[in-house]
Amino acid sequence: MSIKNKVFTILNSNSDTFISGNDIAKILNVTRSAIWKAIKSLELDGYEIISSTNKGYMLLNSNDMLSKDGIEKFLDNKNFYNLIVHSTVTSTNDLMKDIAIKGGNEGTVLISSNQTKGRGRFGRSFYSPKDTGIYFSILLRPSFEAINSTFITSMSGIVVCNTLKNNLNIEPKIKWVNDIFLASKKISGILTEASFTIENFDVDYIIVGIGINIYKPNEGFPLDMNDTASYILENKIPDLRNRLLANMLDEFYKYYSSFDLTKISTEYKNLSCVIGKKILILEKNMTISALVNDIDEQCRLIVTLESGERKILSSGEISVKIID
Ligand code: BTN
């Protein structure tokens, strides 16, 4: 563990009380100037630390900063997960791809407070501003057949909705296939990427990337997102993002370890906000309007087109927009 992380651990276990630089230096057996450097670096990461010449340093408990220790404090399934926490990355999915190619283990989770090149489906970007959201990717190496991989996306949507409901008493819904909506606006997106071996179509790895807008971005949303994107909370809650992440990983493990496809498709359908709605089907250069009749046991969308033709849609290259 770096000196910075050790200093953070000490401050965090004494949060809202002062501890002198001298005492921290003694505990860690390093110089006071090394402590000072670590404090400055933590402040640059966004932690609010009060410094007093006589009393030392105090980490404010009103912080809602992501940290490995902070998440592990709430996490039950520590044996399955290996957490890597960064303050900023390009894209957690992109970095995880490198880890996967180099043989990274199932259960590796890459978490960041900020992404400079966050990605969504169809090559779109995913706005990932600093310190107000949660952005993370989970590496999986499942033994099931490739055909079942699509259930991982549906399962992840259920996990996000359940965790937000359990912690914040809100009832988000899933807009097929993987957008999480609250009051008709998107608060979260999920990007599942997989690699298969060509010979037998075994799953080599799956990366589940999840982004959630918890608080209002410091600079607001870009203008073109104002009508479609939203966030969950106005005011910061201490340690909320650490708790949500831990609870989400535990909830994910619960569904992944049983991988009960009937349960997943039933719950996915119950959380859907598209059934009975008029939609636009956006497919490559085509836009078709349709009415959503149902979601089937494979989490596919059953629709009736304007022509009266009934169609079953799999996620693949299609996205939908609710119009009524
Ligand atoms: C979408 O809305 O189309 C999916 C958005 C997925 C965003 C998450 S944030 C963590 C992970 N890293 C990325 O670059 N994307 C996913």
Per-residue pLDDT of 54-77, as tens digits, reads 899 998 866 788 989 889 989 999
> Cβ contacts of residue 11 below 8 Å, gap of 6+?
19, 24, 42, 49, 57, 58, 59
Q: What is the H or E stretch that residue 82 is in? A: strand 82-86
Rounded to the nearest angstrom, the distance between the alpha carbon of 166 and the centre of ligand 1 is 23
Cα–Cα distance measured from residue 21 to residue 53, given in angstroms and rounded to the nearest whole number: 10
**Does 257 have pLDDT greater than 90?**
yes
**Mean per-residue pLDDT for 36-40?**
94
* Candidate from 190, 191, 228 with most ligand 1 atoms within 8 A of CB, to mutate: 191
pTM of the model: 0.87
Rounded to the nearest angstrom, the distance between the alpha carbon of 25 and the centre of ligand 1 is 40
Q: What is the pLDDT of residue 251?
A: 98
**Does 15 have pLDDT greater than 90?**
no
Q: Out of 29-33, 37-41, 59-63, 122-126, which region has the weakest mean confidence (pLDDT)?
A: 59-63
Cα–Cα distance measured from residue 282 to residue 316, given in angstroms and rounded to the nearest whole number: 11
**Mean per-residue pLDDT for 247-261?**
97
**Does 291 have pLDDT greater than 90?**
yes
Q: What is the pLDDT of residue 319?
A: 79
Over residues 145-195, the pLDDT tens digits come to 888 899 999 999 999 999 999 999 999 999 999 999 999 999 999 999 999
Q: What is the pLDDT of residue 62?
A: 67
The CA-atom distances, in angstroms, between 44 and each of 41, 59, 152, 282, 309 are 5, 14, 36, 43, 58
**Mean per-residue pLDDT for 79-98?**
97
Rounded to the nearest angstrom, the distance between the alpha carbon of 93 and the centre of ligand 1 is 7
The protein residue whose alpha carbon is closest to atom 15 in ligand 1 is 119
Banded pLDDT at 93 (limits 50, 70, 90): very high
Nearest atom, ligand 1, residue 121 CA: 3
Report the DSSP beta bridge partners of residue 209.
137, 191
Over residues 184-206, the pLDDT tens digits come to 999 999 999 999 987 777 899 99
Over residues 205-253, the pLDDT tens digits come to 999 999 999 999 989 999 999 899 999 999 888 889 999 999 999 999 9
Greater confidence, 238 or 32? 32
Return the structure tokens found at 83: 């957490």
Nearest atom, ligand 1, residue 115 CA: 14
Return the structure tokens found at 157: 């949507």
Percent of the chain with pLDDT over 90: 74
Return the structure tokens found at 85: 């926490």
What's the mean pLDDT when you consider all of the chain? 93
Banded pLDDT at 25 (limits 50, 70, 90): very high
Rounded to the nearest angstrom, the distance between the alpha carbon of 156 and the centre of ligand 1 is 12
Alpha helices in 123-260 (DSSP H): 150-168, 240-258
The protein residue whose alpha carbon is closest to atom 7 in ligand 1 is 211
* Candidate from 113, 115, 188 with most ligand 1 atoms within 8 A of CB, to mutate: 115
The protein residue whose alpha carbon is closest to atom 1 in ligand 1 is 120
Which of 117, 25, 39, 92 is CA-nearest to residue 245? Answer: 92
Nearest atom, ligand 1, residue 91 CA: 14
The protein residue whose alpha carbon is closest to atom 11 in ligand 1 is 209
Cα–Cα distance measured from residue 292 to residue 303, given in angstroms and rounded to the nearest whole number: 4
Q: What is the H or E stretch that residue 270 is in? A: helix 261-271
Q: What is the pLDDT of residue 170?
A: 97
Q: Which residues line ligand 1 (CB under 6 A)?
A: 91-93, 115, 118-121, 124, 126, 128, 135-137, 179, 189-191, 209-211
Nearest atom, ligand 1, residue 117 CA: 14
The protein residue whose alpha carbon is closest to atom 16 in ligand 1 is 209
* Candidate from 112, 160, 208, 210 with most ligand 1 atoms within 8 A of CB, to mutate: 210
**Mean per-residue pLDDT for 42-53?**
84
Q: What is the pLDDT of residue 239?
A: 87
> Cβ contacts of residue 36 below 8 Å, gap of 6+?
21
Banded pLDDT at 317 (limits 50, 70, 90): low
Banded pLDDT at 45 (limits 50, 70, 90): confident
Nearest atom, ligand 1, residue 136 CA: 10
Q: Out of 226-235, 277-286, 290-299, which region has the weakest mean confidence (pLDDT)?
A: 277-286
Rounded to the nearest angstrom, the distance between the alpha carbon of 97 and the centre of ligand 1 is 13
Rounded to the nearest angstrom, the distance between the alpha carbon of 137 and the centre of ligand 1 is 9
